Structure 1
């Protein structure tokens, strides 16, 4: 035994139950050999290698809202002017692994598909004002031969038709467990669409290469969309502030109008006039900020349109 092995053995504590020791003696087991083997054995206590159940893991993803079953196979998805700056066209095969860095649109793609099947994924935050080219469009081509009549919501994922969509299910697994999970998905009868930041760590296993790898690249134009939302929110906030200031101005003018007949002291009249001037100053300042933000918003949207049609 080399020096390194001796050090590892010396620094290892192995606790044996008293009853276990007595049983080993009765069976004439060599406790020293058992201890040596236990020390040499890699115990993956916190890993998935010894206890990972891919079917149970898939069910847990469903419960967490990260895995979905839909009753159709998906042939193609087209998304235009909704959530993506540029038009998206993706052809799907039987087993699909969609990869891309954070912000490339993997989750947006999944949610766009789910809009057809889950009422909880609505366009509640959607506004025509936020779409310089009008309402967005999502078109999905299904394999109609796989039409099913079934209840989807709340069902355990155990059907053998349709499509299972999994959003970032691999990010919670290490490499070995991820490969086990992907192999399990390859063995299922449903069409599979699963997203991941990268497939590189799994494709070392030859069987995983059976997946149709769909690469989504990060589009810097998404940063413009984020700026657009910030500007829209700020304009909305400033507009509410302007409405409040106009109400305050109207109230001030009404008080001043009545004060002429109510015999207010000169000092009180001067205070009311000073308040009016301050309110009018705030109104002018707020109006200027709204105009400036609207100008920035128009320029930003023009920039987005240029990027949208830049490759056409």
Structure 2
């Protein structure tokens, strides 16, 4: 175990778990968020000691689909692509990918082949971009964790609106990952108060939902509101009015159902919930009712499928895009039963 006065990294049956003492100097929610980013790099020192199965079905009645790697998007020819990416979204109209490159303080937009289209950074009016999402009109929504703003850009990358979330809510907001539903509702994970902020397509606050120990991402899941936490109950699902319906997924070391540090999720066209667990270096897949289905990804000495996967999204033809903070890359897979 590695410990300091504020953080600890513990090895268990399911991998390494990072924790922050609630009485430590990092107990402040905002500080804990960025301390966790540091811990992702710290725990990389002990990579290679835990073996995970690939495409493992949890039960005999659940068969994992074939998942085949088809591409990798990363630095090439000395050109920097991503630095500490935290979130990924896809434009359903053309397949473009929108990725936050947190260390570089910019948004990176790639086409479906991985070619760079443009970057949005300081010259575009961005500061500390954390989460990004895109609506059906092609407008890009970017959250700024340090400023509390949600900024909206045109499809061409022009800043067209900025929303002061702290002023809107009357409290200090540190927005994290962002998602947008088909109906245009915007879901923002508030890293400061660990609740979900829901805005309409005009940018008005509709409601705040839930209370989490360490909220990472929120969004629509089969018509319900889903929040993912890196501590406490991993998944909480609410109805559209914000009433809690169910929770599942605990952090701990007792069984394969447990989480270490889940950060991102996506729901596929079969209503399966795919969750990226950064510290287990794999994806864990559930039904929306909480039934474990299968895991994807392994880690062993000097080899791993993923290196700190933090977020993911799906393309229209069943492509799975996984962004890895530790490797500064995006891996692309084809999921066999999502192809049609």
| TM-score normalised by length of structure 1 | 0.22
Query: Quick check: which one's helix share is greater?
Result: 1
Structure with more relative contact order (C-alpha pairs < 8 Å, separation 6 or more) = 1
Larger Rg: 1
Normalising by the residue count of structure 2, what TM-score does the alignment of the two structures yield? Answer: 0.21
